[in-house]
């Protein structure tokens, strides 16, 4: 096995293996050559080569999202690691473990005008769980120390002993920092940064490891809910006749069905689930915007909960956020081992355990159900909305809304659905999606960048078919995502092309002006046909409902290449159809 000669590179590689960081996404460069040599020549690691660092980072994010394990990113020095930043921020807010390993130049070559050199230490300081700034190895070669200062020849034996002592200290510090960084990514579920300085020569190799770094285990302690807190929460629960549970981004199969049934069977509880919650129950309330958008002020007051219980990640629906900020509950509990957001400005309890552990201890003490008509009232509203929803779609013209109805019904069971941000995820929230389908979306920062790359990373390690639905701006923005040799043949992209940022036509603003078209909606006439030809992706285009139905018949079937279906919808009709939809729900 060929290994880098540099001890620091060997240390990084061995500690990644010891902590089961197996998937390594590498972008080409020279300064990171010692790491690339070590990772790519080692049988344990699964390495991916992706040129565009922004795409590489989101690709790694998609892998980490699926495996729920730290994934390493390796890049050269300079602006390369800045291109990781959007994905680092997404990982930070979505609690996804990424280990960014950036090669750097020696300190004496920073700030002196060398190329590919920036101040890399702590570069992600506002969106990182830990930054490990490693120290450069010490060695003597050709009468010079590694920092290019002349070595003192006299008293050579004493000098070497001193250098060896310094190197031993540096090695120990580096091991400690690497251990702490990777352990943090594992335990706290988020991104960390390891900055690794290397001096030339960078390509020297040896056949065996020269160092044996110490491995520090991740220490996790079982958290327990304070008995007094549980008693207090149970008391609040008994006194409330209107309780709302709101669930944001949530990993599939992470909540025990027992606790979902307990919540559903309580007539004083309504459970609102977002599409990204991956939770289903016939008595739950999905499609939040469909239910609450048409409400009057009097109805909002009727819906106002006395207790709000939240768990999961960030919330998509702006309407539920606006509602709960205006009509605040008396109590808001958020259940999460690590993270909390006071989204509705009324949080009074952060219960620092998993939802499963909380409900296990909580429902042991809940011995009776509070009498209430809260759930029944809103079930009647839910049924009414669903009836109006079906009637409107039956007669509505071809549009984004109509296309989503057909596309979401066509999805293969037991597949993975990746959603782009902006209008895409919001349209998906209006429909019921088969409960066997796992749903993901980058809701940490909710940006349009990197959605395609994330979906491809997910598909690369999943044993299920991945379908990615995206809008045109998001897709073309991340078009380098297709410059990727790891796209599975069964990967499918459905591109809704309405010639611009259609969501801006729904938001307040002066539509159909040159200023709006150019700077907000950003109109364009691009299509994906030529991109697909360049990247060997099978391509089809539809412009009406009849052709869409025909294409969807065998779109998901097995082929020799990935496939993209471009669905072209009428730009100046989509917003009217959607706004009229919400009016029709009353």
Cβ atoms of 380 and 285 closer than 8 Å: no
Domain co-membership, 197 together with 77: yes
- Can you give the pLDDT at residue 504? 64
- In the block, tokens 């409902």 appear at 545
Chain centroid to Cα 4, Å, comes to 33
Residue 461 structure tokens: 């390690």
Q: Report the pLDDT value the prediction gives residue 162, as an integer from 0 to 100.
A: 66
Contact criterion met (CB below 8 Å) for 269 and 263: yes
Reply yes or no on whether the pLDDT at 220 is more than 90. Answer: no
Q: Indicate whether 294 belongs to any domain.
A: yes
Q: Alpha-carbon distance 286 to 366, whole Å?
A: 26
Average pLDDT, the chain: 93
Same domain, 342 and 470: no
Name the nearest CA neighbour of 567 among 413, 423, 394: 423
Residue 547, pLDDT above cutoff 90: yes
Q: In this structure, what token pair is assigned to residue 110? A: 């920073």
Do 356 and 255 contact (CB within 8 A), yes or no? yes
Number of domains in the chain: 3
Nearest to 229 by CA among 336, 340, 330, 362: 362
Asked if residue 216 is part of any domain, the answer here is no
Residue 520 has pLDDT above 80, yes or no: no
Does residue 82 form part of some domain? yes
pLDDT class of 500 with cuts at 50, 70, 90: confident
Domain final residue pick, 377, 411, 445: 377
Span 541-555, mean pLDDT? 97
Confidence of residue 223 (pLDDT cuts 50, 70, 90): confident
pLDDT at 503 (0 to 100): 66
- Structural domain boundaries enclosing 408: 396-584
- Same domain? For 191 and 245 the reply is no
Question: Given its phi and psi angles, is residue 253 left (phi above 0), alpha (psi -120 to 50 degrees) or beta?
Answer: left
In the listed set 139, 169, 202, which residue is the last one of a domain according to the structure? Answer: 202
- Residue 69, class by beta-carbon neighbours within 10 Å (0-12 exposed, 13-18 middle, 19+ buried)? middle
Would you tell me how many other CB atoms lie within 10 Å of the CB of residue 121? 17
Instruction: Let me know whether 522 and 424 are in one domain.
Output: yes
CATH number of the structural domain spanning residue 300: 3.40.50.1220
The answer on 104 and 12 residing in a single domain is yes
CA distance 500 to 518: 9
Using CA atoms, how far apart are residues 175 and 11, in angstroms rounded to an integer?
7
Is the separation of the CB atoms in 484 and 511 below 8 Å? Answer: no
pLDDT at 237: 97
What is the model's pLDDT at position 151?
47
Mean per-residue pLDDT, 362-382 = 95
| Mean pLDDT of the region 545-571 | 96
91 token code pair = 């990982």
- Of 377, 407, 437, the residue at which a domain comes to its end is 377
Task: Measure Cα distances from 578 to 200, 347, 427, 434, 585 in Å.
Answer: 60, 33, 9, 23, 11
Residues 396-420 have pLDDT tens digits of 999 999 999 999 999 999 999 999 9
Report how far apart, in Å, the C-alpha atoms of 218 and of each of 61, 84, 186, 193, 343 are: 22, 26, 8, 17, 31
Q: Is the dihedral of CA 454, 456, 459, 460 positive or negative?
A: negative
At 427-482, the pLDDT tens digits run 999 999 999 999 999 999 999 999 999 999 999 999 999 999 999 999 999 999 99
Other CB atoms within 10 Å distance of the CB of residue 201: 11
The mean per-residue pLDDT over the stretch 485-511 comes to 82
- In this prediction, residue 158 carries a pLDDT of 58
Distances (CA, A) of 357 to 269, 347, 349, 567: 20, 20, 16, 44
Pair (260, 352) in one structural domain: yes
Q: How confident is the model at residue 505 (pLDDT cuts 50, 70, 90)?
A: low
Q: Please tell me whether residues 321 and 439 are part of one structural domain.
A: no
With a pLDDT cut of 70, the percent of the chain lying above it is: 93
- With CA atoms as reference, report the closest residue to 549 among 563, 567, 527: 567
Tally of helices (H runs) and strands (E runs) in the chain: 21, 21
Task: Report yes or no on 386 lying in a domain.
Answer: no
CB 468 within 8 A of CB 494: yes
State the pLDDT at residue 256. Answer: 96
CB atoms within 10 A of CB 115: 7
**4-10 mean pLDDT:** 96
18: number of Cβ within 10 Å: 16
Answer yes or no: is 40 within a domain.
yes
Q: Does residue 250 form part of some domain?
A: yes
Whether 321 and 404 map to the same domain: the answer is no
Structure tokens at 45: 């690691």
Q: Residue 276: what pLDDT?
A: 97
State residue 219's pLDDT score.
Answer: 83
Confidence class for position 116, pLDDT limits 50, 70, 90: confident
Same domain for 373 and 401, yes or no, is: no
> Can you tell me the distance from the alpha carbon of 146 to that of 202, in angstroms, rounded to the nearest whole number?
13
Q: Quick one: pLDDT band at residue 225, thresholds 50, 70, 90?
A: confident
Task: Identify which of 87, 21, 22, 18 has the alpha carbon closest to the alpha carbon of residue 59.
Answer: 87
Q: Quick one: 339 and 406 in the same domain?
A: no
| Residue 152 scores a pLDDT above 50 | no
Is 104 inside a domain boundary?
yes
Mean pLDDT of 252-263: 96
Note whether residue 207 is domain-resident. Answer: no
Q: Tell me, what's the pLDDT at 508?
A: 65
**pLDDT at position 1, please?**
84
Would you say residue 160 has pLDDT above 80? no
Regarding whether 233 and 117 lie in a shared domain, the answer is no
Q: Which helix (H) or strand (E) holds 452?
A: helix 451-461
pLDDT score of 145 more than 50: no
Least confident residue range of 15-19, 45-49, 149-153: 149-153
Omega into 201 within 30° of 0, i.e. cis? yes
> Is residue 150 predicted with pLDDT exceeding 60?
no
pLDDT of amino acid 248: 96
Query: What DSSP character marks residue 226?
Result: -
Structure tokens at 353: 């355990």
Using the predicted structure, report yes or no on whether residue 142 has a pLDDT greater than 70.
no
Measure the N-to-C terminal CA separation of the chain; round to a whole number of Å.
Answer: 69
* 194 or 505, which is more confident: 194
Checking if the pLDDT of 153 tops 60, the result is no
For 193-212, write each residue's pLDDT tens digit: 999 999 999 999 999 999 99
pLDDT score of 167: 82
Which CATH number covers residue 179? 3.40.50.970
Sheet (strand 438-441) strand order: 438-441, 416-419, 466-471, 492-497, 563-568, 538-542
Band the pLDDT of 148: cuts 50, 70, 90: very low
**Does this model's pTM top 0.85?**
yes
Q: Are residues 91 and 146 in the same domain?
A: yes
């Amino acid at each position: 096995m060929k290994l880098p000669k540099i001890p620091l590179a060997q240390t990084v590689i061995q500690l990644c293996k010891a902590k089961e960081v197996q998937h390594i996404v590498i972008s080409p460069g020279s300064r990171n050559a010692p790491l690339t040599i070590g990772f790519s020549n080692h049988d344990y690691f699964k390495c991916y080569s992706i040129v565009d660092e922004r795409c590489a980072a989101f690709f790694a994010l998609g892998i980490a999202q699926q495996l729920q394990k730290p994934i390493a990113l390796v890049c050269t020095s300079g602006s390369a690691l800045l291109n990781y930043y959007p994905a680092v921020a997404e990982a930070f807010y979505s609690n996804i473990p990424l280990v960014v390993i950036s090669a750097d130049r020696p300190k004496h070559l920073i700030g002196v005008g060398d190329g590919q050199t920036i101040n890399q230490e702590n570069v992600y300081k506002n969106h990182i769980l830990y930054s490990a700034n490693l120290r450069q190895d010490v060695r003597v070669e050709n009468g010079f120390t590694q920092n290019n200062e002349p070595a003192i020849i006299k008293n050579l034996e004493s000098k070497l002993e001193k250098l060896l002592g310094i190197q031993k200290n540096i090695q120990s510090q580096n091991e400690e920092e690497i251990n702490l960084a990777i352990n943090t990514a594992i335990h706290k579920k988020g991104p960390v940064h390891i900055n690794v300085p290397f001096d030339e020569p960078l390509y020297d190799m040896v056949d065996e490891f020269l160092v044996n770094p110490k491995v520090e285990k991740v220490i996790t302690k079982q958290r327990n809910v304070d008995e007094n807190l549980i008693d207090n929460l149970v008391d609040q629960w008994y006194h409330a006749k209107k309780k709302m549970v709101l669930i944001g981004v949530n990993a599939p199969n992470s909540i025990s069905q027992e606790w979902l049934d307990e919540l559903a069977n309580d007539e004083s509880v309504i459970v609102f689930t977002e599409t990204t919650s991956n939770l289903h129950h016939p008595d739950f309330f999905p499609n939040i915007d469909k239910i609450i958008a048409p409400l009057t002020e009097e109805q909002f007051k009727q819906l106002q909960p006395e207790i709000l219980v939240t768990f999961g990640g960030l919330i998509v629906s702006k309407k539920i956020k606006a509602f709960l900020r205006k009509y605040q509950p008396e109590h808001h509990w958020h259940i999460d081992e690590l993270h909390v957001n006071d989204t509705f400005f009324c949080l009074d309890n952060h219960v620092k355990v998993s939802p499963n552990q909380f409900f296990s201890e909580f429902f042991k003490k809940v011995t009776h159900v509070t009498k209430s008509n809260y759930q029944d009232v809103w079930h009647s509203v839910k049924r009414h909305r669903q009836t109006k929803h079906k009637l409107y779609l039956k007669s509505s013209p071809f549009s984004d809304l109509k296309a989503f109805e057909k596309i979401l019904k066509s999805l293969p069971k037991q597949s993975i659905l990746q959603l782009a941000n902006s209008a895409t995820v919001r349209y998906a929230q209006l429909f019921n999606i088969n409960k066997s389908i796992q749903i993901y979306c980058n809701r940490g920062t909710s940006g349009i960048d990197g959605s395609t790359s994330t979906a491809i990373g997910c598909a690369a390690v999943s044993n299920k078919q991945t379908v990615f639905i995206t809008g045109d701006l998001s897709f073309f923005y991340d078009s380098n995502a297709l410059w990727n040799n790891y796209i599975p043949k069964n990967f499918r992209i459905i591109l809704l092309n309405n010639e611009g940022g259609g969501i801006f036509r729904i938001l307040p603003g002066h539509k159909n002006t040159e200023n709006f078209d150019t700077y907000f909606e950003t109109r364009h006439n691009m299509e994906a046909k030529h991109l697909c030809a360049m990247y060997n992706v099978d391509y089809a285009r539809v412009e009406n409902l009849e052709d869409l139905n025909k294409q969807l018949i065998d779109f998901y079937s097995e082929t020799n290449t990935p496939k993209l279906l471009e669905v072209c919808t009428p730009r100046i009709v989509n917003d009217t159809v959607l706004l009229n939809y919400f009016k029709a729900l009353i």
